Amino acid sequence: MTKKQLIEAVAKETMVSRGDCDKVVKAALDVIVEALASGEDVTLIGFGTFGVRNRPAQKGRNPRTNEEITVPAMKVPFFRAGRVLKRKVNI
């Protein structure tokens, strides 16, 4: 499902205009991104938790030259599905 399809589905489900749903979905995603960028976790009860993990620096290889390189440490976003979502998916 694309963001456009999500917006259309929400508009249909809530009987709100697509324009208004577009604003709401974009705003919700922006708020989640900003919270993650500032180091906060975002927990949506019954759906799951968005968070950020620290990935340490590690050694890797350039596949073209077989040269050993160091992959720098970085922060990576993750999603952990909630219990309700897991049950719904496994039905």
Question: Is the domain of 47 the same as that of 89?
Answer: yes
Question: Is the domain of 49 the same as that of 91?
Answer: yes
* Full-model pTM: 0.79
pLDDT score for 38: 95
Question: Is the domain of 29 the same as that of 53?
Answer: no
- Summarised one tens digit per residue, pLDDT across range 31-89 is 999 999 999 999 999 999 999 999 999 999 999 999 999 999 999 999 999 999 999 99
| Nearest to 36, CA basis, from 48, 52, 60 | 52
Report whether pLDDT(91) > 90: no
Range of the domain at 23: 1-40
The C-alpha atoms of residue 14 and residue 23 are separated, in whole angstroms, by 14
Number of domains in the chain: 2
The whole-number average pLDDT for the span 11-23 is: 94
